[in-house]
Structure 1
């Protein structure tokens, strides 16, 4: 049987070179592309009667014209055409605007079907779609009309006809992929029938059944591919076999100034189990802002050290590298570990010294930016690679660090919580650990949304906190004034706030400063020599100044939810009460909604779910770097439950000893073995 993915769409009647080019703009080059080019919605033209029709909704009536039409002109181009229509014995008025050409066709006694907005009180409908016929039976068109995304060069009617012809010619060649056991278990209609009904449903029940079958199939096959790939990797890639002296690790845990939360202990156990496994660890660690991921990373690095290996921690900014290095030295230096930092702003002599320490194995923990993956960096015995805020690095950058050792274990960390739906889809080939418990003593940050007119009150509040020995951040979106965007800018705001808060010391930090300038201003802020820091989002991730209790975000509606949550997480790190003030006059409903969400919850996982609902998966992760599959029908936000079920089914089948070898799974097995990702 010829694969439908190999049959060009030009084999269908009426598709010459020009039309083939227009179809290719829609992503349609093969018959399979055409058959799976599903409509994105259906217009419902199911006939109802005036008694049941909801007020001010779009409805469809069928009746008999009762009287002569009348037309009224407004100028030369605007017109209003009306006629009486009898529908199930009820007289109503039909009005058409600027459709004067219908007047000559509206004869008394003619059956008509009209769709439009219904005014129940006035018994009138504003028509926007009309069918006329001398034979009432001919009015029964399709009650559901699919709506496709097309360009100006492709007419929907022609596309539907072409899809119909494709089903006539090739519909019997659509291969069933799902095992019969699963189709029976969930009462799923056959694949070919489901694909056809998505284009030509008789009613909504048809459409629902068809969508359910295809969505489950898409998600099941995707999860199978992820798990199959992971199983093959485990067979082919052997990790480091090591033994961690648990007594020494336990002594380190007992030396901490605080007990681990239950969630932290659970994650530590998962990581240590991975480190001792003969398979390479590939784990994603999610934890909300302030949940204690750094401590978990330190424990993982120490466990790796105890088994005789070096560890590397790669972070996106030099500020964050310095902070992590300081934290790790505090925790690990007393235990005899040598922690070094490698960033792009080091002097040549200092860099040579650190590179030598890494190569000779004198450096146990190496913290740095992407400088860690440069060619001249040679590790003596790299056993564990950790990337913090992993989404800020490209896939190649993360892979480059892994390649510095021989199958080192990999731990990726993020403080940007990813909803479970996305996590199991995008990171399905990874194990996922979640720290979903905050350390004891951390008070929730109180968040307020105020208008810009309240600025004077905000400044007074900041001044009061500083006079009480505390510190504050004031964040704005731009560095310098922009003619195109009416947003606060850091330079201007710095000058303004310096005057308003005098004699309180105010500092300025932004991305265009040199590394040394950033380091200097952060040093002053950490020592409380600068009490208020005006900054752009350069401080978004990882900056840790426990004495800071106020976060003011100017033009807050211009930031995304995840970014606002990260910025808010820069305060409340010292155990005392902290406040976040969102300053915004949002013009859009979306902007207002973001402000309301931020004042309602401080839970990063709740915020990420709302963010996903508002933006969709591609925008949530960043379209170019999302790693999301391009499903033809499935929607990760709407079909979360089906995804969970499909994942469970895929896991049960692929992890069973004999299940995948049974005859009914042979088509699926062949597809997986030949890596046919788009199944025809």
Structure 2
């Protein structure tokens, strides 16, 4: 926080550092730091009328105070109100100042929830005020999200100062607000920070309150304006026209052992049309697990190569990047096209050689992880960037790769289907292509939920599957976000299965293995030399072994829906009937129950994504913190669909008719983050 802001808010260096931990760096951000709840100190409730389990304020005279030592050290105070009703106040953590504040004979106010205790009705750790030193509050008391060392009184004073100092004039025209039936911004913010006594706490938490609607609309409008402007800017850019002669594409199509589906052909035509435009393509290719996105990406890359340009293919994990490298090499090397791969695990000599070939233009296709956008990686003539599982990359990372060329075309791929509401909002600048048809050889996967106490039966199913000549994945979960623990679990599981099933050949795959080791294990599994592959979740995407017909996922209750759906999609790629066994351990949380119910009942990725959005909300669904998409602080895309549609309608009108309004609104709501929105 800069010194000017500190001076404006009248705060110390220590307070400024605490505010920065909350992400509050400007006076405007402080103003938008809204309460998570409210306390009612505007009136006194008689003890006899006070409801149980609801925060209220009572007043009475202290008639008894004692420090008790059983069952643990605690301060117990009893007060008596004017009507003669009594209430115990109990404090586990207390100081001499508390004892002095609640000395016998003092008149105090206590704010908290009343519960039934051993000795009768009591409040545990209520907020205490001296009843004789001041009147009742004039508005409901806001309680804000905070961090250690930043008290509510200091936060309230800082926010009150910001409300006085920050210009809260409206960035939107009065006529527009009247047509939308929305209140003014200043009125909305003052109401939410200092609600009048007649406003109920329940009403304040209702998102339909006009004050909340105003903030949600402003936020959604800023997002829609920024996306529209990003699109306009992109359409004004000058990208290379990537129109090939089709010779390489035809040779690859003739060599494939399958024919493209109608959906793949349609999507390819959409991508080809974009790449022929003189402005950069910005397209999202969506397709459910196993729908054939990789061959579409490969054919799109060939168009760029035919036009004389290089292609960068970026994947979030080494194993997925490696799978792409193996596939592209298999398809492209017979065509005489040099494919190289880049990862952090490459030895210096190999890395230097790959970088030199890329800079000289010898390498036409570069495939890798985040290593592709390091500063020392240079392309001779980059024309197309393909980003797989794009939501798993930080936006700054995607920007760094895009900036390796001049206005390059971008194709982003995702097997996590984006529901319509999210596509309308977060991906408003993207053209979307959907592969909505699975290849004809795909078989339905039967999903089973099995309690882990029946693990022995599952091992029997594994043996039976392998005796039929088919193969099995056995996936170990991520435990407490620890890669080391996950690795140990996978190692232990392999040993346990080898003891239980001594006649089977059981391999192990995890993220800590060297690239060559992983490639060898996957090659052995693909060739049928391994019956069972015990793996961590590194096999979530990109792995394609048609002979694998059984997937066992341990501790499925710990995984998200998108991950479970991705893992399940590793089987059902051949002619055999395939199954996915979800092993779970009890007790199950409500969230885990909801996830397992959805994955058991649904196989359609779009429906699973919609349910996932309902369960988790848009921020977590998208991995928004990782993806760099600006989080919607107030709006909820499912609840506020009507507001989103109004924002979409108004955005083009304002851009065309009121550029001054657009500039003011974006400066207020986005500031420096706007550069990321077109990525």
TM-score class, shorter-chain normalisation, is 0.7 to 0.9
On the 8 A contact 2:88/2:120 being kept in 1, the answer is no
1:659 Cα offset (Å): 1.8
Q: Which residue of 2 aligns with 1:462?
A: 462
Is the deviation greater in 159-168 or in 488-497? 159-168
Give the secondary-structure state (helix, strand or coil) at the position aligned to 1:387. Answer: strand
On the 8 A contact 1:223/1:646 being kept in 2, the answer is no
1:151 Cα offset (Å): 4.1
Q: Which residue of 1 aligns with 2:634?
A: 634
Deviations 1:226-283 (A, max 9, x none): 3323323432x21223557799989998998446255x45533432331222211022
Q: 1:415 to 1:40 in 2, by over 3 A?
A: same
Q: Which residue of 2 aligns with 1:448?
A: 448
Q: Which residue of 1 aligns with 2:547?
A: 547
Q: Which residue of 1 aligns with 2:94?
A: none
Q: Which residue of 1 aligns with 2:221?
A: 220
Q: Which residue of 2 aligns with 1:342?
A: 340
- Structure 2: runs of 5 or more not aligned: 92-97
On the 8 A contact 2:328/2:339 being kept in 1, the answer is no
Could you tell me how far apart the structure 2 residues matched to 1:484 and 1:270 are?
44
1:96 aligns with 2:89: yes
Aligned runs of 1:213-612 on 2, under 5 Å?
213-235=214-236, 237-241=237-241, 257-258=258-259, 260-262=261-263, 264=264, 266-304=266-304, 311-316=311-316, 319-320=319-320, 323-324=323-324, 327=327, 337-343=335-341, 382-393=382-393, 398-399=398-399, 402=402, 405-419=405-419, 426-440=426-440, 442-477=442-477, 489-585=489-585, 589=589, 590-609=591-610, 611=612
Q: 1:322 to 1:174 in 2, by over 3 A?
A: closer
On the 8 A contact 2:47/2:81 being kept in 1, the answer is no
Could you tell me how far apart the structure 2 residues matched to 1:191 and 1:314 are?
43
Q: 1:531 to 1:156 in 2, by over 3 A?
A: same
Give the secondary-structure state (helix, strand or coil) at the position aligned to 2:513. Answer: coil
On the 8 A contact 2:309/2:364 being kept in 1, the answer is yes
Is the deviation greater in 122-131 or in 337-346? 122-131
Q: What is the CA RMSD across the aligned residues, in angstroms?
A: 5.1
Q: 1:604 to 1:145 in 2, by over 3 A?
A: farther
Aligned runs of 1:82-231 on 2, under 5 Å?
94-98=87-91, 104-105=104-105, 116-117=113-114, 126=123, 128=126, 141-142=137-138, 144-168=140-164, 170=165, 173-202=167-196, 203-204=199-200, 208-231=209-232
Q: 1:523 to 1:380 in 2, by over 3 A?
A: same
Question: Number of residue pairs matched?
Answer: 650
Q: 1:494 to 1:626 in 2, by over 3 A?
A: same
Give the alignment's TM-score, normalised by structure 1: 0.77
Q: 1:443 to 1:305 in 2, by over 3 A?
A: same
Give the secondary-structure state (helix, strand or coil) at the position aligned to 2:34. Answer: coil
1:654 Cα offset (Å): 5.6
Give the secondary-structure state (helix, strand or coil) at the position aligned to 1:343. Answer: strand
Could you tell me how far apart the structure 1 residues matched to 2:489 and 2:159 are?
54
Could you tell me how far apart the structure 2 residues matched to 1:623 and 1:93 are?
51
Alignment match of 2:5 (pick from 8, 16, 40)? 8
Could you tell me how far apart the structure 1 residues matched to 2:355 and 2:131 are?
86
Give the secondary-structure state (helix, strand or coil) at the position aligned to 1:602. Answer: coil
1:32 aligns with 2:28: yes
On the 8 A contact 1:448/1:580 being kept in 2, the answer is yes
On the 8 A contact 1:132/1:139 being kept in 2, the answer is no
Could you tell me how far apart the structure 2 residues matched to 1:669 and 1:637 are?
20
Give the secondary-structure state (helix, strand or coil) at the position aligned to 1:571. Answer: coil
Deviations 1:374-429 (A, max 9, x none): 89988676543322233455556645654565543210112234555555555444
Could you tell me how far apart the structure 2 residues matched to 1:118 and 1:72 are?
20
Q: Which residue of 2 aligns with 1:660?
A: 658
1:462 Cα offset (Å): 0.5
